[in-house]
Amino acid sequence: MNKLMSIEVKGNTKKWSFNFYGDPKYLDEWRKDGLEINEIVNTVPLSVANAGLSGIWMKCQDIFNFKFKG
């Protein structure tokens, strides 16, 4: 099952991050090859973050995705 991930790419002056759906079984192989890849657990819209509601938003995501443990 593919999961949402992020890969970091280093340019001449900045670092860039791109999201993609990938198979977690390849994470170790990609990391051993020097790629900076992380699984994305939650996403928060900027408007929610600016309103100070990130914690509530992430708990709701966890409940909806059956990850909330209390």
| Contact call for residues 8 and 16 (beta carbons, < 8 A) | yes
Average pLDDT, the chain: 91
What was the pLDDT predicted at 62?
83
Helical ranges in 1-70 per DSSP H = 27-32, 46-50, 54-64
Verdict on whether the full-model pTM lies above 0.75: no
What was the pLDDT predicted at 70?
54
Confidence of residue 68 (pLDDT cuts 50, 70, 90): low
| Contact call for residues 21 and 5 (beta carbons, < 8 A) | yes
Q: What is the pLDDT of residues 21-38, one digit of tens each?
A: 999 999 999 999 999 999
Confidence of residue 10 (pLDDT cuts 50, 70, 90): very high
